[in-house]
């Protein structure tokens, strides 16, 4: 916590296997001190396993873990001085709120007066000052969550690890606690590693997001990086919705814009430097990046300008989601796309099924990705 | 509770139930009455009241010695059972290792094997070791007989305990041993106590093990009752029986009080579980 420069946590090629099953396969990661880092991934992708290795409850098969530059790979968990918040909070049911929060300080041999003072301060921070004498069972889910947080922070750890800490709460409470948590993290300047499978949660809180899949890191960056510049189909699909259109790169412009041809012959202009001519690729096109316009006749189609027909319209409350079909009535020659528009459309227009539309997009909003095995 | 209350049993079932209860309870008041009899032989109803049989029971050094032996055996085997059942349940529930089912089978075997067979087997072992006739031998015998049930009780208590609690304690700076002491053990206490209680009561009135393993100076209450009944039936027995019933009731009441105290505390923890579901 001294200097915010430098890395607080470094994971170097971590491996963990259960029998022949690889739960974590070569995870390397550096997290800057004072940052809020979210590990995001589908169920079974190895998030908890990585966190448990960080906490010291699970021993890696291979690789090293550094915290503040010290190798802690072989250090037992009670010596790592990390705050851990478990998914179900793991509050001690036979101790009061105060007893729970005092526990880590007692373990550190602090004197009673100091313990009392620190606990009171910490409970005030999480706004539970009046609840010190209650048992965990007498608290609401959100209050229990805050007790768990207070208990994990009261001994001023350098790093706080959290495994889906808001998973058991309802949506409204979760949103409120996300803001509180982020605020608390900034105030206490603690490095947070936060595991979740809720991408919205990751976007709201994280400075850095790690996307995991099948025990490996798919991509690491800011939430914007991952959303706007995904490097794999998986990331594009996991961070929000996207249309994935397959094709082959046919040309590469000097400005970095690629020309991608769909099997139906339609062309897409899209961004990405990593692909070259001849590659089989997928183009990721976010639904909200598509523009729709009503059309009467059938103007000739061009790159990034296609003719389509609305086949489905669903209200999302503040927006509309349209399903659009481009091309002839044969599935093999069809492209199906999702578009998300403001409730009343781009030009104050709302579309209905069977409407004929012209759809277009900016080449900068379309992203060329290597074709994954699906 | 409200669910039970809302089910109205058929009146016939009610009558039957009361009959069953009466059948089970009836001997007890009769024995209590007989134990205060002024007659010199077993007769009912007693011609008058007196405390002579209690005087004879508690005034006899042999009977008092038997009370003492029984209490020693019951207390020691309760303690031994609590320790062993806890030590067995923790790895069996928490740890991951192969061949668990074999160990389960061995642990639960005394429940299936008739006590008399266990008793005979132990008689030979202890005879070889020169331990027959000692309190230790009877204590070990009772512990073996009661261990399977204590183990099952404790395993189920432990099953309901979140292993993350101990992990949380360790992450907060406790060594694994301290975490066990401060977190797991207190939460396991009701189960341990139940197991101990069960061991105490079982040991207190179990006859076969001390019959085989006891000696002339280590006759438990149950054995002395047996011996005196075999010789002749005299009203002292009824005083002894009342003493046994009294002890059992006392222990049960004590247990109920303790478990109610625990429940008040842990009702909060069950509430917590519910809110997670
Ligand atoms: N003790 C274990 N024995 C065998 N396999 C395990 C063990 N623990 C985890 N795994 C496996 O390792 C993989 C990763 O598990 P992990 O708990 O890290 O997933 P996760 O990303 O946290 O998923 P979730 O979002 O469901 O919590 C899973 O496929 C899981 O089945
Ligand atoms: Mg998990």
B272 touches chain A (CB under 8 A): yes
Distance from CA of A230 to the nearest CA of B (A): 35
Q: What is the pLDDT of residue B70?
A: 94
CA A257 to chain centre: 28
The stretch A357-372 carries a mean pLDDT of 86
Q: Which residues lie with the beta carbon below 6 Å from any ligand 1 atom?
A: A 18, 21, 23, 41, 43-49, 197
A165 touches chain B (CB under 8 A): no
Range scoring the smallest mean pLDDT among A166-175, A183-192, A345-354, B241-250? A345-354
Q: Name the pairing type of β-strands A62-67 and A70-71.
A: antiparallel
Given pLDDT bands bounded at 50, 70 and 90, which one contains residue A2? very low
> Are A294 and A355 spatial neighbours (Cβ–Cβ below 8 Å)?
yes
Mean pLDDT of chain A: 87
Which residue has tokens 């998300």?
A: A340
The stretch A44-72 carries a mean pLDDT of 92
A84 touches chain B (CB under 8 A): yes
B268 touches chain A (CB under 8 A): yes
B162 with A90: Cβ contact below 8 A: yes
Top mutation candidate among A27, A46, A202, A217 for ligand 1, by most atoms within 8 Å of CB:
A46
ipTM: 0.77
Q: Which tokens belong to A274? A: 């990593």
Whole-number Å distance, alpha carbon A65 to ligand 2 midpoint, is: 20
B176 chain-A contacts, CB cut-off 8 A = 78
- pLDDT tens digits, one per residue of B169-193: 999 999 999 999 999 999 999 889 9
Of A168, A191, A217, A199, which is closest to residue A47 (Cα–Cα)?
A217
Q: What is the pLDDT of residue A75?
A: 92
- pLDDT tens digits, one per residue of A293-329: 888 887 888 888 888 888 888 888 778 888 888 887 6
Of A281, A176, A170, A182, which is closest to residue A223 (Cα–Cα)?
A182
A91 touches chain B (CB under 8 A): yes
The stretch A231-248 carries a mean pLDDT of 88
Q: Which tokens belong to B124? A: 């030979």
A87 chain-B contacts, CB cut-off 8 A = 164
CB atoms within 10 A of CB A252: 16
Range scoring the smallest mean pLDDT among A1-10, B83-92, B136-145, B256-265? A1-10
Taking the CA atoms of A266, A272, A273 and A275 in sequence, report the sign of the dihedral they define: negative
Given pLDDT bands bounded at 50, 70 and 90, which one contains residue B268? very low
The stretch B23-44 carries a mean pLDDT of 86
Distance between CA atoms of residues A263 and A121, nearest Å:
65
Mean pLDDT of chain B: 87
Distance from CA of A216 to the nearest CA of B (A): 25
The domains of chain B, with CATH numbers, are 60-232 (1.10.3720.10)
Distance from CA of B273 to the nearest CA of A (A): 8
């Amino acid at each position: 916590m001294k200097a915010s420069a430098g890395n607080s946590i470094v994971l170097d090629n971590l491996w963990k296997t259960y029998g022949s099953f690889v739960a974590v396969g070569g995870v390397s990661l550096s997290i800057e001190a004072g940052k809020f880092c979210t590990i995001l991934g589908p169920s079974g992708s190895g998030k908890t396993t990585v966190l448990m290795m960080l906490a010291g409850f699970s021993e890696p098969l291979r690789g090293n873990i550094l915290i503040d530059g010290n190798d802690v790979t072989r250090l037992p968990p009670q010596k790592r001085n990390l705050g851990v918040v478990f998914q179900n909070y793991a509050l001690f049911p036979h101790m009061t709120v105060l007893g729970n929060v005092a526990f880590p300080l007692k373990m550190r041999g602090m004197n009673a007066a100091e313990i009392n003072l620190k606990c009171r301060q910490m409970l005030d921070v999480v706004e539970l000052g009046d609840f010190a004498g209650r048992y965990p069972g007498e608290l609401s889910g959100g209050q229990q969550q805050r007790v768990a947080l207070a208990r994990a922070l009261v001994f001023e750890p350098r790093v706080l690890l959290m495994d889906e800490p808001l998973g058991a709460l309802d949506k409204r409470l979760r949103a409120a606690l996300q803001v509180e948590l982020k605020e608390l993290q900034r105030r206490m300047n603690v490095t947070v590693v936060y595991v979740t499978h809720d991408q919205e949660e990751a976007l709201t809180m994280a400075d850095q997001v790690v996307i995991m899949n099948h025990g490996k890191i798919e991509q690491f960056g800011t939430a914007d990086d991952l959303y706007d510049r995904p490097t794999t189909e998986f990331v594009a699909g996991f961070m929000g919705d996207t249309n994935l259109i397959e094709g082959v790169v046919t040309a590469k412009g000097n400005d970095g814009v690629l020309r991608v041809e769909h099997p139906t012959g339609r062309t897409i202009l899209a961004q990405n430097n990593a692909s070259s001519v001849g590659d089989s690729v997928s183009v990721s096109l976010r639904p909200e990046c598509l523009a729709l316009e009503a059309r009467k006749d059938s103007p000739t189609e061009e790159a990034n300008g296609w003719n389509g027909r609305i086949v489905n319209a669903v209200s999302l409350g503040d927006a509309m989601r349209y399903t659009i079909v481009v091309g002839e009535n044969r599935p093999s020659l069809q492209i199906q796309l999702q578009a998300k528009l403001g409730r009343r459309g781009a030009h104050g227009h709302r579309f209905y099924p069977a409407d004929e539309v012209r759809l277009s997009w900016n080449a900068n909003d379309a992203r060329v990705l290597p074709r994954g095995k699906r | 509770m409200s669910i039970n209350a809302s089910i109205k049993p058929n009146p016939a079932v009610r009558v039957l139930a009361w009959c069953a209860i009466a059948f089970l309870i009836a001997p007890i008041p009769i024995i209590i009455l007989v134990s205060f009899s002024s007659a010199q032989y077993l007769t009912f109803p007693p011609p008058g009241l007196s405390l002579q049989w209690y005087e004879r029971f508690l005034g006899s050094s042999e009977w008092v010695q038997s009370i003492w032996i029984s209490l020693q055996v019951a207390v020691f085997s309760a303690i031994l059972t609590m320790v062993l059942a806890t030590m067995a349940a923790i790895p069996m529930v928490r740890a991951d290792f192969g061949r668990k089912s074999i160990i389960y089978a061995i642990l639960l075997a005394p429940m299936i094997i008739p006590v008399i067979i266990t008793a005979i087997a132990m008689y030979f072992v202890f005879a070889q070791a020169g331990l027959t006739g000692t309190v230790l031998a009877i204590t070990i015998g009772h512990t073996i007989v009661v261990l399977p049930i204590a183990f099952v009780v404790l395993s189920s208590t432990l099953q309901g305990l979140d292993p993350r609690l101990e992990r949380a304690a360790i992450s907060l700076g406790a060594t694994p041993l301290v975490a066990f002491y401060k977190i797991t053990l207190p939460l396991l206490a009701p189960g341990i106590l139940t197991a101990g209680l069960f061991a105490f009561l079982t040991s207190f009135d179990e006859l076969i093990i001390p019959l085989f393993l006891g000696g002339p100076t280590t006759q438990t209450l149950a054995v002395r009752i047996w011996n005196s009944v075999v010789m002749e039936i005299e009203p002292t027995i009824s005083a002894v029986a009342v003493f046994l019933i009294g002890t059992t009731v006392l222990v049960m009441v004590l247990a109920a009080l303790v478990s109610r105290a625990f429940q008040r505390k842990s009702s909060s923890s069950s509430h917590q579980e519910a809110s997670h579901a």
